[in-house]
Structure formats: structure tokens, C-alpha cells
Structure 1
Amino acid sequence: MLQAFERSPLHATTLELLYQWFHRLVAVYSLLFGILYWVRLVGFYDGAAWRFDLMPVHWQVASVCLAALFPFAASGLWMLASWGPVIWFICAAIETTMYLGFPDLFGTRYWVVASHALVAAIYCVFRLIFFLQSRREAN
């Protein structure tokens, strides 16, 4: 009777472990971005007009949204929740739009856009490999 409730231990493949560590690395990266936005909001940043009450309205909106969303994405990525990459993608899309779509308002930070593109590309490669593996196993 007890054998019906016993399960064999789950063994993750090397690829699954890499995927989990990739999520955790992006979680740390997202938490860092979130902290940087919070530093700007509370006024510890040395730049001109980088305290919330001195920021232009477009920076106030972007900073508040990203200061809330990046830590939220980090927690979802760290827990390996399915919504973690979705929230990260929203953050990446907002920052990419800010720096590529409105450089006259937000400036140009190509390294931020490039880092988001790199993370998105690696994520797509992982998902493609998982898709191909499941397809091969189905045959």
C-alpha cells in the first residue's frame, strides 16, 4: 500500500539545470536593475534632476513602473515561475522602447538594449532546444 505513494526521485537533465541557472542569473540582473531604479527614485543618484520630485514626467512614469516591475520579475525568475520571463519581457520591452524609440527623452543606452537582446536570444535558444527534444521524444 505504501508503494503507491512512493515516487522515484526526479532527475533534471543538464540542459534543464542550465535553464534554471540561466533564470536565476537573469533574476539577479533584474534585481540589480530594479535596485538602480529605486536608487534614482529615492534620490541617492548623483545625476542632475534624479530625485523623483525633480525628474521630468516621462522619467517619473518610466522609473516608477520599472522600479516595481524589475524586482517582481526577479522574484518570478528566481522561483522559476512561468510568469517570471513574461514580466522580464515587459521590462525589457519598456526599456528598449525608451532607449531606442525615444532617445531624445531618455538618452541612448545601447548596452542595456544589447543585454536585453542577448538574454532574449538565449531564452529563445533554450525554448527551441526544449521544443526539438520534446518533438524527438514524441516520435
Structure 2
Amino acid sequence: MITSFQDLIDSRPPWSTLLIWYLRGIAIILIGGGVIYWARIIGIVEWRGLWFWDMPVALQGAIVFFAVLDLVAATGLWLTVSWGTVMWIFRCFCQIVMHTAFSDLYGRRPYEIAFYLLTIAIYAGLAFLMDRENKANAG
């Protein structure tokens, strides 16, 4: 029975399990994003009042790029393979560069950038805690 905060901490799953849950949660978000991008491409939904075929070429290219990348990264994250994490972090940095260095084309989105940086920081923290736990159990 959990009667204190320390009991809650002691009864938590291993950090590796929490990291897997976290990566799969991010994968679900990416699947949703990928589906939305594909819905824009095939003409089910518009974006900021524009249909895909009416958008500038730079926006069309970004939408196609992220439509593919989101689903590839989501697959890798769900399977918890290393390339999935690499693809997801690459995707985050592409979005950050898009909305900072090329903000005149793609617009500024400070909340989205903060979200990407926060998710990467949480991943790094969970990976660090998992590594520390694995070293403690091994040695």
C-alpha cells in the first residue's frame, strides 16, 4: 500500500519501462500528426484557409516531408529501435529550424518549439535515469 511519496517512488516501474511508455506516447502523437499531414495532401482538410494544391511550393514540400517522416519516426519509436529515436529528434530539429531560421516562410511558433525542446529534454532525462539504474543493477 502506498502511504507516502517515497512509497510511490519505490513502487514505480523501472526507468526503462517508463522510457518505453514515453516513446510510445510520442509515437502516437506522431501518428496523429502524420495522418493530419496526409489528410492535407489528399484534400480532406485545409491549412490556414489553403488547400494543398493552392499552397506555395515551400509549404507543399514541408508537408510532404513531415507526412513521411512523422510516420517513419512513429514506427521506429513504437518498436523502440534506435533509428526511431534518431528520426524523431531529427524531425524535432527540422521543425525548430523551420520556425526559427526560416520563420519568414513557415511562421514563428514559439510554443511548438518549446514543446519539441521539452520532449527532447524529458527523453534525455529518462534515458539518463535508465542508464544510471542499469549501471546500479549491473555493478
Q: What's 1:50 paired with? A: 51
Q: TM-score, normalised by structure 2?
A: 0.81
Q: What's 1:40 paired with? A: 40
Secondary structure of 1:123's aligned partner: helix
Q: What's 1:27 paired with? A: 27
Q: Does 1:75 align with 2:75?
A: yes
Superposition CA RMSD, Å? 1.7
Q: What's 2:104 paired with? A: 104
For structure 2, list consecutive stretches of 5 or more residues without a partner in the other structure: 1-12
**Cα distance in structure 2, aligned partners of 1:123 and 1:69:** 19
**Cα distance in structure 2, aligned partners of 1:72 and 1:126:** 22
**94-103 or 126-135, which deviates more:** 126-135
Note the C-alpha offset of 1:109: 1.8
Q: Does 1:61 align with 2:74?
A: no
Secondary structure of 1:104's aligned partner: helix
Amino acid at match of 2:15: L
Q: What's 1:3 paired with? A: none
Q: What's 2:5 paired with? A: none
Q: What's 1:118 paired with? A: 118
Q: How does 1:84-103 map to 2 (within 5 A)?
A: 84-103=84-103
Query: Closer, same or farther in 2 for the Cα pair 1:75/1:40, shift >3 Å?
Result: same
Note the C-alpha offset of 1:39: 2.1
Amino acid at match of 1:55: M
**101-110 or 68-77, which deviates more:** 101-110
**Cα distance in structure 2, aligned partners of 1:55 and 1:86:** 30
Q: TM-score, normalised by structure 1?
A: 0.81
Query: Closer, same or farther in 2 for the Cα pair 1:134/1:18, shift >3 Å?
Result: closer
**Cα distance in structure 1, aligned partners of 2:126 and 2:67:** 28
Q: What's 1:10 paired with? A: none
**Cα distance in structure 2, aligned partners of 1:31 and 1:19:** 18
Q: Is the 8 A contact 2:31 2:70 kept in 1?
A: yes
Amino acid at match of 2:117: A
Note the C-alpha offset of 1:14: 2.3
**Cα distance in structure 2, aligned partners of 1:130 and 1:17:** 9
Q: Does 1:132 align with 2:129?
A: no
Note the C-alpha offset of 1:138: 5.3
Amino acid at match of 1:110: P
Q: What's 1:5 paired with? A: none
**53-62 or 117-126, which deviates more:** 53-62
